[in-house]
Amino acid sequence: MTATAHALIGGAVASTISNPELGLSLAFISHPLLDLIPHWDFANNWRAKDKFILFIEASADLTFGVLLSYILFGQNVNLWYFFGCIFVSEVWDIIEAPYWFLNWKFPPISWIYNVQSKMQGKAALPWGIITQILTVALATLILQKI
Ligand SMILES: [Zn+2]
């Protein structure tokens, strides 16, 4: 999913689950589980894309996601815990980034790449964005009921 979707889920976890061990674990494991849902992403056709453009898009996606997550979920949460949950919800793609941008195709980066590329559910626009909006909304609702 987009970094924005992962950041929103990480922030929603931080704001609803006060136990840090549970929250950080859930935010961490949410990444590959969310990626199973068919979605669109900037990196879907990363091989054909100019690396500089992809880097700008990925950075903008991450920055926007963190800011939006902070506005929606970060107000009454310990900031270390809040950004910790966002970090672990994004870390899979952060570890994978050198594979895309620097051609680093060796372990553990290549392991993460192989796992993630096999677990990606892909969908074209607009459905690939709609699935993410619905997933984030549903996950936020469920977390608020816990
Ligand atoms: Zn991912």
What is the pTM for the complete model shown? 0.95
What are the strands, taking DSSP E only, across the chain? none
Residue 136: the pLDDT is 97
Helix, strand, or coil here: 121? coil
> What span, in angstroms and rounded, lies between the C-alpha atoms of 83 and 99?
24
Instruction: For residue 7, give the nearest of 79, 87, 113 by alpha carbon.
Output: 87
Give the DSSP letter of residue 48.
G
Query: Which ranges of the chain would DSSP assign to H, the alpha helix?
Result: 3-16, 20-36, 51-73, 79-102, 109-118, 127-145
Residue 44: the pLDDT is 84
Amino acid identity at 117: S
pLDDT 10s digits, 89-136: 999 999 999 999 999 999 999 999 999 999 999 999 999 999 999 999
> What span, in angstroms and rounded, lies between the C-alpha atoms of 30 and 38?
15
Residue 46: the pLDDT is 87
pLDDT 10s digits, 1-49: 999 999 999 999 999 999 999 999 999 999 999 999 999 998 888 888 9
Question: Cα(26) to centroid of ligand 1, in Å?
Answer: 15
Question: Cα(67) to centroid of ligand 1, in Å?
Answer: 19
Question: Cα(31) to centroid of ligand 1, in Å?
Answer: 6
